[in-house]
Amino acid sequence: MIRSLLSRIRRAASTALFLAMLPSAASAALTIEIVGGGANQIPVAVTAFVGDGGTPPGLAGVIRADLARTGLFKTLDTGDNPVPPEPQVVNWGDWRGRGAEALVAGGVTQRPDGRLEVRFRLFDVAKQTSLAGVSYTVTPAQLRTAAHRIADEVYEKLTGDRGVFSTKIAYVVKQGRRFTLEVADADGFNPRSVVNSNEPIISPAWSPDGAHLAYVSFEAKKPVVYVQSLLTGQRLAVAEFRGSNSAPAWAPDGKRLAVVLSKDGGSQLYLVGADGKGVQRLAQSPGIDTEPSFSPDGQWIYFTSDRGGSPQIYRISAAGGPAERLTFEGSYNASPRVSPDGKSFAFIQRNNGRFQVAVQDIASRQVQLLTDGSLDESPSFAPNGKIILYASELRGRGVLAAVSSDGRVKQRLTASSGDVREPAWGPLPRNP
């Protein structure tokens, strides 16, 4: 079953699913336009959970939406009737008849302490066997979290890759003159503002443990790098030197950041402690060095430099030393972000005046162009490496968009007003 599902997913992936979300005429609501088919998506039935008294769309609705957004699944209409998560009560013939290859069933029971126990099973419909079954104990406010965890389990069992439905994203919203750095669940729910300013905010970066955001704010009438706790809201200016301070990137150990400072002239790479102490210069070049990004093993720092005459991507040992140029195609390659497996990097490439997301395999140097926008910026890998979130533009407005790292599945997400930009995908959650 798993093998057949995997082969189906590969077939599904060859058909692009394009979600374009356009402002509707009458209200702030959004509409979705899908271009391309989804005929080969894997059919999954996610039934309503027994005893799910939560607010619509309920646990099943959240799980369906998570799976559907990946473009790899076709979520079947299961009606409102819950199916208990017990193999002996599943009507296998019925689900087979509806075309389901996998079935998710679950239930919610209230515990004496007021918390809820959410349990689910994932079934292989053809083999009539259980592929996974987990239970979580959560507060009523954590029901969506439980749903995302279930979606993660289902996704991992059916694709072999980690799910990222329980992760968070950060991004900047510009409404008129107001800039807000927000953090939301990966599906956009539960947005909360981290910092507001009448001056620009750019370059948010998650600490590896997901507890802090580094970002650049212009509130002091110049760019300054801050590190802010998401738990307490406390923040520290970790780079506030004369001149400009920008482009924070966390080392994988969370103890240091690479930053770009102009204090000694030009825009150059430095390392600084997450406590703002111990700044040291990392490299010295006659040109611009900026946009550092650590490799996951902490060994390398990838960055943009125009030392060769045009912006290109280089890497340097995190201990310093000579820089190695990595991009050679085209006259503008910038914003490198190393993939979580360390084997490739996403970046922005200018082609005929259009800025687009590309990915380069580090070993083979092979480049694949992933998007066809004109002002695509700020690529950010999902922590499973399967999706790249980036900033794009739709009719003059900033929107977020996502593309699978193989370029085959695309989504575009836009607000009915305001600009959304500077996305940064957070790390996988620590153990529950």
Partner 1 sequence: MKPALRAAVYRSFPIAAVLLLAACAGQETKDTPKAAVEDRTPTAAPTAPQATTAPAQASPVAQTPLSNPLKDPANILSKRSIYYDLDSHAIKDEYQPLLQAHAKYLLENKNSKIIIQGNCDERGSREYNLALGQRRADGVRRALMVLGVTENQIEAVSFGEEKPKAEGHDEAAWAQNRRSDIVYAGE
Binder among 125, 138, 214, 400 for partner 1 (CB under 8 A): 400
Q: Which residue's structure tokens are 């689910």?
A: 120
Shortest distance, position 208 Cβ to partner 1, whole Å:
20
Which of residues 37, 53, 79, 432 is near partner 1 by CB under 8 A? 37
CB of 214 to partner 1, least distance (A): 13
Of 141, 396, 430, 431, the one binding partner 1 (CB under 8 A) is 396
> CA-CA distances (angstroms) from residue 354 to 188, 330, 367, 377, 416?
28, 12, 16, 11, 24
Q: Does 428 bind partner 1 (CB under 8 A)?
A: no
Q: Which is nearer to partner 1, 98 or 115 (CB)?
A: 98
For partner 1, the binding residues in 350-369 under the rule CB under 8 A are: 350, 355
Cis geometry, peptide bond prior to residue 57 (ω within 30 degrees of 0): yes
Query: Candidates 217-225, 278-286, 318-326, 357-365 — which segment interacts with partner 1 by CB under 8 A?
Result: 217-225
Which residue's entry shows tokens 């669940």? 185
Q: Residue 261 corresponds to which tokens in the numbers above? A: 């400072």
Q: For residue 26, what are its two tokens? A: 């009458």
Q: Binding partner 1 by CB under 8 A: which of 101, 124, 153, 291?
A: 291
Q: Report in angstroms how near the CB of residue 198 gets to partner 1 at its nearest.
A: 7
Nearest approach, Cβ of residue 3 and partner 1 (Å): 24
Token look-up 């066997």 returns 129
Give the residue, chosen from 55, 198, 299, 366, that forms a contact with partner 1 under the rule CB under 8 A: 198
Q: Which residues pair with 215 in a beta bridge?
A: 226
What minimum distance in Å lies between the beta carbon of 348 and partner 1? Answer: 6
**Rounded-to-integer distance, Cα 347 and Cα 408, Å:** 17
Strand runs labelled E in 243-353? 245-250, 256-261, 268-273, 280-281, 289-294, 300-305, 312-317, 323-325, 333-338, 344-351
Instruction: Return the number of the residue (79 or 93) whose C-beta is nearest partner 1.
Output: 79
Does the protein bind partner 1 through residue 378 (CB under 8 A)? Answer: yes
According to the binding rule CB under 8 A, does residue 115 interact with partner 1?
no
Nearer of residues 68 and 90 to partner 1, judged by Cβ: 68
- Which of 93, 139, 189, 299 touches partner 1 by CB under 8 A? 189
Q: Which of 7, 10, 11, 34 binds partner 1 (CB under 8 A)?
A: 34
Which H helix or E strand runs over 158?
Answer: helix 143-159
15 sits near partner 1 (criterion: CB under 8 A): no
Segment interacting with partner 1 (CB under 8 A) among 81-89, 127-135, 178-186, 275-283: 178-186
Q: Which of 72, 151, 247, 274 binds partner 1 (CB under 8 A)?
A: 247
Q: Does 326 bind partner 1 (CB under 8 A)?
A: no
Residues 299-318 that bind partner 1 (CB under 8 A): 304, 311
- CA 233/CA 254 separation, integer angstroms: 18
CB neighbours of 143 closer than 8 A, spacing ≥ 6? 54, 59, 108, 116, 118
For partner 1, the closer of residues 55 and 110 by Cβ is 55
What residues from 46 to 105 belong to the interface with partner 1 (CB under 8 A)? 57, 61-62, 64-65, 68-69, 74-77
Among 6, 22, 92, 218, binds partner 1 (CB under 8 A): 218
Beta strands 17-23 and 224-229 are unpaired
Picking from 275, 290, 194, 282, the residue whose alpha carbon sits closest to that of residue 237 is 275
Distance CA 125, CA 105 (A): 12
Q: Does 141 bind partner 1 (CB under 8 A)?
A: no
Residue 145 DSSP symbol: H
Contact between 177 and partner 1 by CB under 8 A: the answer reads yes
What span, in angstroms and rounded, lies between the C-alpha atoms of 380 and 383?
9
Closest distance to partner 1 from the beta carbon of 351 (Å) = 12
**Closer residue to partner 1 in complex, CB, 133/243:** 243
Q: How far apart are CA 184 and CA 208, in angstroms?
A: 17
DSSP secondary structure string for all residues of 74-127? EEEP--S----S-GGG--HHHHHHTT-SEEEEEEEEE-TTS-EEEEEEEEETTT
Task: By CB under 8 A, name the one of 7, 11, 32, 325 that touches partner 1.
Answer: 32
The residues, any chain, with a CB within 8 Å of residue 124's CB and separated by 6 or more, are 1, 2, 101, 102, 130, 131
Q: Are strands 235-239 and 344-351 parallel, antiparallel or unpaired?
A: unpaired
Selected from 131, 181, 411, 424, the binder of partner 1 by CB under 8 A is 411
* Size of interface with partner 1, in residues (CB under 8 A): 86
Residue in 96, 174, 307, 343 binding partner 1, rule: CB under 8 A: 174
Task: Return the residues of window 142-171 that contact partner 1 according to CB under 8 A.
Answer: none
